Structure 1
Amino acid sequence: MNGTILNSYSGIKTHQFGLDSVSNNIANVNTTGYRESRPEFETLMAPKALGNGPTSNEVNMGVTAASNAISTQNGSYRASGGEFDLAYQGKGWFVVGENKDGEMEVKKNGFTQKQENFFTRDGSFSKDAQGYLVNSKGYYVYGVNLGKIQDGDFVSSPKDDEKNLASDKLSPLQIPQNLRFKPIETTEVNLGINLNKTQNPTNAYGTFVQDGKLDESRMLNADVNIFFANQKSLDSEINNEANITLTDNEGKQQTYTFYYGDGKENSFRTLGELKTLIKDKTGLDLKIAIQDQNTKNPTLNIQLSSPALLQDGIQTSGSFFDSLGMSETKESRIKPITPYSPNQSYKPNELVSYLGITFRKLNENENSNPINNSSDWEVIDTENIKTFDGSKTYTAGDVIKRDGNVYLLNDQNQFIKISQEKSFQFPTYNPQDQYGQDTFVAFDGKLYQRIAETGNSNPAQDPSSWKEISLGTISSKPIEVPHYTSTVDIYDGDGKKYHLISEYSLIEGLDLASQNNQKWEVKSYIQDIASGNKVGETITHSISFDQDNIPTADPIEIPFKGKKISYDISGDGKRKSTNELYSDSKISSYEQNGNPEGSLEKVNINDNGVILLKFSNGKQEAMGRIGIVAFTNDQGLGKMGGNLFGLESTLIGGEKQLKSGNPILGWNEQGNLTMGNIKQGYLETSNVDIGNALTELILMQRGYSMNAKSFTTGDEMIKEAINLKR
């Protein structure tokens, strides 16, 4: 055989291989995920020729197939509409296997597998009868399984998803169609809120009255700027002036002015400070009063009145009193007392003044001196008595106040104690007592004067015996405080939904503009949605904001069906609670770890390959991810048929090694794909370039024909040589 025949024969055989490879590419031009083969040729051999000249004298002999390489170019992507159809864009492969109980572990320095796994770009996946993701051959799709599906229930545990989705263990993925989201009992609630103290005023009664008892000291210690009246903020930075004008019986007037804020004389910030200033300067009383307590809607009012029986005329004015709705004028009050006379008889409850002290007659016994007979007379008012002054000289009969007591200087120049200091209050009506003509009683918030003979009839029911008169009191509009109510859904162990309700009322705070040092009282309780009834007790706690508006609220525990819910209103993982004035009072964000029952509605697979299950209860949570691996040398993968590639080994340096190199996980330690992304509802087409394939087919056919011609020529030369011998 001459070299021509050898060369042409190898050329025919090799181009036949090329034709087979190219025709196979053309045959699979519409095969999903098909990887194009690229036939490559090389010289068969190069024997040495005779001679040692300076020119290379090797003679290449023939050709042979060197490889049938895999094209790693991405194919095109088309929408398929299949729920589990997936396309991968980038470097890497889907992982499948025949064993549904198998496992593949991919580490940086190697990998292990319980069975043989295969790799593909064909993402035509679906579910089998058991809910496993499989390809068209029934091979199981491998990926990371978070282990949340247990006995047909999906058990929520999202906290460690980021960490667990970065796992290096791959196993078959199963998603039962009748999957139920297992209800989870709420044990923890974290709430981020904004509390705007310029909004939502509500009746202050519920904040400062507990079990019918007014916590007056707490209200008096509150900055007045937190209050509203008649749905309007007092806004005391602007409405900062309070005037009180007193007019005596001779028509003389004196005006006293008080200022909200700091730095001026007669300045105040709290109601308690204003109360003290008014008492010291004018002798008037400022107090908190409950109105309509026996009705469904009791209120709190600020009242200004005189404790003295001989009340001067009172006029209030200024922007502060205007904002409270208590700018008013009260004329001098009736004087229900007469000077004591030893020659006059007195009836029960009649009032007399003696030595500046006001006494009340206790019974109808024979008249006696009030100083000497405490069984007949009761001291009820010492407001008009002067306080002892050591620089003054006193004479017998003088009465003074000292250290909370009242004393009379006798003829032996000794101070004799008469009683303790007392501030007048009209006696409250008692049906067991007798009331003489011209006596006074207080009843149901009103003052009555007895106009009939001695008796004890009910003042409100006997207008013929009693006359209603003015108390001389100036009252504000109902007092209100900023308020907000938050409602968060929580769940019991059966998945039943309840409301966790918190009611916020501002009880401490400074000026409106600076929003510093706020404290909100919070009443939290759980409500049954169907009945509207409370479940368990109400827990009272608070949230405060310091000068930098940083919230402080200690976590509390709320009893719930024999267990406790940890509750923190200072913020959740996304936002801290705030007291911003430019934003409405609202829930900014919250998190709670309970969930109701739900059924599987839809499966979503995101670009990162994470499988998200959406349930009828509105919850969507990861159950795992699609497995993606890559190789250093894709050309080292073996073609297994069915769009599958497998691992092949070879001896390198006497050691058995994978041609492709070890598998490499397609995601990093944070669980994010690093070499590509996944598109759900799409499929990757064959990556065959049909134009190039047809060109290659023509070239291979021409090569085949030319080699056949060479073979014929060689054959004819041999025949001619044989004929020469003959």
Structure 2
Amino acid sequence: MSLIKSLNSGVSGLKSFQTKMDTIGNNIANVDTNGFKSSRVTFSELMNENIGGAGGGESAPSQSNQVGLGVRVASVDRDFSSGTIENTGKTTDLAIEGDGYFVVNNGSQDLMTRAGNFTFNKNGQLVDQAGNFVQGYNANDSGNILGGGATDNVRVDFENVLEPKQTSEVNLGGNLDASTSSRQIVSSQSAFTDDSGNLAGGSTDINDLSQTAEDLEATDVIEVSYTQNDGTAATADFEYGTDGTTLNDMVSALNSDISGEGEFALVDGMLRLKSDTVGDSELNVDSVAITDGSGDGTDSVNFPGFKVSQEGDTGTQTMSTTVYDGLGNEHSLLVDFTQTGEGQWDYEAKFADGESITGGSATGTINFDEAGQIDGNSNFNIEFDPSNGGSNVNFNVSLGGSEGTDFTQYSGANTAKVLNQDGYTQGSLVDVRINGDGRVQGVYDNGENQDLAQLALGDVQNEDGLEMVGGGLFRATSAAGEVFVDGADNVANSNIRSGALEGSNVDLAQQFTEMITSQRAYQSSARVISTSDEMLTEAVNLKR
């Protein structure tokens, strides 16, 4: 009878919506499962039955009459969108921000998961809660990781000792104060003034000075007795010319005589002598006398006395660091930079404990150009005997060029220091951390970090081709397409967050809504069956 079709349609509805309820129940049950991906059910109608032509000829809107035979489950699709990432604070709890899957091995095959609640087992192997081995690339003894090939079980040797590393590079950076050293300055104790009492300038006639008691005449000589920078006595002479001879004329003539020792200048009416040598100096003006060229004995100028207003000083900046020999022993390195001239610094390297420097350039000179940048070679080499049974240590000292810090000479604060050196003593593993590239880094008690391994991430061309095998694990079927496995830093749009887990992506509000509609649809299908049954009963009762 035709009512059988309605019965079958109702039964197909019951079966299909029961499958949907099963799926909804599973989603809700896993609302707190790490890395869980929710599913949905889609339906399609069963085959239609033609019950005869519609009639009406070619102008009819329909050429056949069809009755559907019910519904079936077309597919159960999985939603692979990311769940909420929650912080846990545990280092080995890992969450993937973006695409990709962690790769684990169960002993026979590689599987993929988004649940990153891992831990280290007794053998130092990183495993999930089922004991599956997390896959990645282990580092060699030098801390180098070669990714992209066959993966291995990620393992950390917690008894690992980091071998000492001999220093090979010391880097200095910062600024040497261009004013570290000073020049000796000798100044008159009072200023020259003119007849009107005003401060004298360079263009003032010497005979117009208030200090000139009797006018000078041609061939009169002003003789300056002074002490040179090295302490040797010397004189500088100026012969007065005609009327109109100025202080500038006198200063120019005196400077010609003392060239290389210093330079006279008139500053605010005061005569000043500045040394040409940076640093310690004996430069001084001892006396000024006038030789009467005319012989009348009346020509005189009351020159003021002179005193040292600024002593010459040689400044030194010292930088220190610890360097290491091949056995990991520490040696205190000191490098002194002494300013010996404009843009010129002498350096001397030595060791606080007296280790013998056997080679390289322990002393030398560094020059700076007018812009305060190093002019010429910017590094030097040192070799020393550690005196403890170890072999000689040879390392390079580089001035600037590291960590974006130059080695300069500007007038201002002295900031020059040792930025870093690459040696270290033996270290024991005290902690492990995992960065965004999935690199497992060992933290040692000597302050050094070293890469121990790198986690691998997997990805597929078609996520819908992944088959769920339980425990939050997926297996790539042929429908998934090519499987790409590499280090986390080579998987696009992916980042690993340590101390966090990805939660389920189940939307409870949506699931409850789907549950209500499924319940109503199930009840309606059951009503179709009961109604068809009553109609069949009526048909059977017709023979009574």
TM-score calculated relative to the size of structure 1: 0.55
Q: What is the rounded CA distance, in whole Å, between the counterparts of 2:256 and 2:77 in structure 1? A: 90
Question: Gaps spanning 5+ residues in structure 1: where?
Answer: 100-114, 202-225, 231-240, 248-252, 279-316, 333-473, 510-517, 650-658
Do 1:667 and 1:673's aligned partners in 2 also have CA atoms closer than 8 Å? yes
Q: What is the rounded CA distance, in whole Å, between the counterparts of 1:677 and 1:566 in structure 2? A: 38
User: Is residue 424 of structure 2 the alignment partner of residue 595 of structure 1?
Assistant: yes
**Residue of structure 2 in register with 1:212 after alignment:** none
The sequence identity of aligned pairs, in percent, is: 27
SS at match of 2:532: helix
Q: What is the rounded CA distance, in whole Å, between the counterparts of 2:408 and 2:491 in structure 1? A: 37
**Residue of structure 1 in register with 2:268 after alignment:** none
Which of 496, 503, 508 lines up with 1:685 in the alignment? 503
**Cα-to-partner distance string for 1:590-626 (whole Å, 9 max, x where unaligned):** 3433222222222222334333332211223433433
Do 1:667 and 1:674's aligned partners in 2 also have CA atoms closer than 8 Å? no
Q: What is the rounded CA distance, in whole Å, between the counterparts of 1:126 and 1:190 in structure 2? A: 40
SS at match of 1:66: strand
Read off the aligned partner of 2:5 and give its amino acid letter: G
- From the superposition, tell whether residues 623 and 58 of structure 1 become closer, same or farther in structure 2 (CA, over 3 Å): farther
Stretch moving more, 71-80 or 129-138: 71-80
**Residue of structure 2 in register with 1:662 after alignment:** 482
- From the superposition, tell whether residues 585 and 14 of structure 1 become closer, same or farther in structure 2 (CA, over 3 Å): closer
**Cα-to-partner distance string for 1:166-197 (whole Å, 9 max, x where unaligned):** 74654322122233222111123333342223
User: Is residue 529 of structure 2 the alignment partner of residue 711 of structure 1?
Assistant: yes
Q: What is the rounded CA distance, in whole Å, between the counterparts of 1:326 and 1:273 in structure 2? A: 12
Q: What is the rounded CA distance, in whole Å, between the counterparts of 2:316 and 2:26 in structure 1? A: 77
Do 2:224 and 2:287's aligned partners in 1 also have CA atoms closer than 8 Å? no
**Residue of structure 1 in register with 2:170 after alignment:** 189
**Cα-to-partner distance string for 1:292-348 (whole Å, 9 max, x where unaligned):** xxxxxxxxxxxxxxxxxxxxxxxxx7343799575464799xxxxxxxxxxxxxxxx
Which structure 2 residues correspond to residues 76-475 of structure 1 after superposition, within 5 A?
Answer: 76-99=84-107, 116-145=109-138, 147-148=139-140, 150=141, 155-156=142-143, 167=148, 170-199=151-180, 201=181, 227=183, 245-246=224-225, 264-265=252-253, 267=255, 273-274=260-261, 318-320=272-274, 327=284, 329=286
SS at match of 2:16: helix
Q: What is the rounded CA distance, in whole Å, between the counterparts of 1:59 and 1:264 in structure 2? A: 121
**Cα-to-partner distance string for 1:123-154 (whole Å, 9 max, x where unaligned):** 11111111111111111112343x14x4xxxx
**Residue of structure 2 in register with 1:695 after alignment:** 513
Do 2:167 and 2:395's aligned partners in 1 also have CA atoms closer than 8 Å? no
Q: What is the rounded CA distance, in whole Å, between the counterparts of 2:371 and 2:150 in structure 1? A: 49
Q: What is the rounded CA distance, in whole Å, between the counterparts of 1:713 and 1:33 in structure 2? A: 45
Read off the aligned partner of 1:578 and give its amino acid letter: T
SS at match of 1:569: strand
SS at match of 1:198: coil
**Residue of structure 2 in register with 1:525 after alignment:** 350
**Residue of structure 1 in register with 2:333 after alignment:** 500
**Cα-to-partner distance string for 1:415-435 (whole Å, 9 max, x where unaligned):** xxxxxxxxxxxxxxxxxxxxx
Q: What is the rounded CA distance, in whole Å, between the counterparts of 2:225 and 2:329 in structure 1? A: 64
Read off the aligned partner of 1:663 and give its amino acid letter: V
- Cα distance, 1:4 vs structure 2: 0.9
- Cα distance, 1:661 vs structure 2: 2.6
Which of 356, 362, 366 lines up with 1:543 in the alignment? 366
**Residue of structure 2 in register with 1:412 after alignment:** none
**Residue of structure 2 in register with 1:303 after alignment:** none
- Cα distance, 1:267 vs structure 2: 4.3
Do 2:169 and 2:398's aligned partners in 1 also have CA atoms closer than 8 Å? no
- Cα distance, 1:641 vs structure 2: 0.4
Q: What is the rounded CA distance, in whole Å, between the counterparts of 1:20 and 1:590 in structure 2? A: 64
Do 1:184 and 1:492's aligned partners in 2 also have CA atoms closer than 8 Å? yes
- Cα distance, 1:47 vs structure 2: 3.9
- From the superposition, tell whether residues 244 and 682 of structure 1 become closer, same or farther in structure 2 (CA, over 3 Å): farther
User: Is residue 402 of structure 2 the alignment partner of residue 578 of structure 1?
Assistant: no
SS at match of 1:124: coil
SS at match of 1:600: strand
Q: What is the rounded CA distance, in whole Å, between the counterparts of 1:504 and 1:634 in structure 2? A: 64
- Cα distance, 1:545 vs structure 2: 1.8
SS at match of 1:195: strand
- Cα distance, 1:266 vs structure 2: 5.2
- Cα distance, 1:25 vs structure 2: 0.9
- Cα distance, 1:255 vs structure 2: 5.3
Stretch moving more, 69-78 or 711-720: 711-720
Which of 359, 370, 377 lines up with 1:553 in the alignment? 377
**Cα-to-partner distance string for 1:561-591 (whole Å, 9 max, x where unaligned):** 444423143323333321122331412x634
- Cα distance, 1:493 vs structure 2: 1.7
- From the superposition, tell whether residues 491 and 174 of structure 1 become closer, same or farther in structure 2 (CA, over 3 Å): same
Stretch moving more, 5-14 or 176-185: 176-185
- Cα distance, 1:637 vs structure 2: 0.8
**Cα-to-partner distance string for 1:457-512 (whole Å, 9 max, x where unaligned):** xxxxxxxxxxxxxxxxx999985423222223221122222223222122342xxx
Which of 437, 450, 469 lines up with 1:640 in the alignment? 469
SS at match of 1:9: helix
SS at match of 1:21: helix
**Residue of structure 2 in register with 1:609 after alignment:** 438
**Cα-to-partner distance string for 1:261-286 (whole Å, 9 max, x where unaligned):** xx9555489x98228x99xxxxxxxx
Do 1:185 and 1:492's aligned partners in 2 also have CA atoms closer than 8 Å? yes
**Residue of structure 2 in register with 1:60 after alignment:** 68
Read off the aligned partner of 1:523 and give its amino acid letter: E
Q: What is the rounded CA distance, in whole Å, between the counterparts of 1:229 and 1:489 in structure 2? A: 40
Q: What is the rounded CA distance, in whole Å, between the counterparts of 1:186 and 1:52 in structure 2? A: 95
- From the superposition, tell whether residues 540 and 18 of structure 1 become closer, same or farther in structure 2 (CA, over 3 Å): same
Q: What is the rounded CA distance, in whole Å, between the counterparts of 1:610 and 1:618 in structure 2? A: 18
**Cα-to-partner distance string for 1:54-112 (whole Å, 9 max, x where unaligned):** 4263433221112221112322232223221112232322221124xxxxxxxxxxxxx
**Residue of structure 2 in register with 1:18 after alignment:** 20
Do 1:189 and 1:565's aligned partners in 2 also have CA atoms closer than 8 Å? no
Read off the aligned partner of 1:7 and give its amino acid letter: S
**Residue of structure 2 in register with 1:74 after alignment:** 82
Read off the aligned partner of 2:402 and give its amino acid letter: G
Q: What is the rounded CA distance, in whole Å, between the counterparts of 1:564 and 1:228 in structure 2? A: 42
**Residue of structure 2 in register with 1:345 after alignment:** none
- From the superposition, tell whether residues 195 and 89 of structure 1 become closer, same or farther in structure 2 (CA, over 3 Å): same
Read off the aligned partner of 1:586 and give its amino acid letter: A
Do 1:502 and 1:523's aligned partners in 2 also have CA atoms closer than 8 Å? yes
Question: Gaps spanning 5+ residues in structure 2: where?
Answer: 56-60, 187-201, 203-221, 227-234, 240-246, 265-270, 290-306, 386-390
Count of residue pairs brought into register by the alignment? 450
**Residue of structure 2 in register with 1:630 after alignment:** 459
**Residue of structure 1 in register with 2:45 after alignment:** 43
SS at match of 2:400: coil
Q: What is the rounded CA distance, in whole Å, between the counterparts of 2:179 and 2:486 in structure 1? A: 54
Q: What is the rounded CA distance, in whole Å, between the counterparts of 2:143 and 2:327 in structure 1? A: 14
Q: What is the rounded CA distance, in whole Å, between the counterparts of 1:621 and 1:548 in structure 2? A: 40
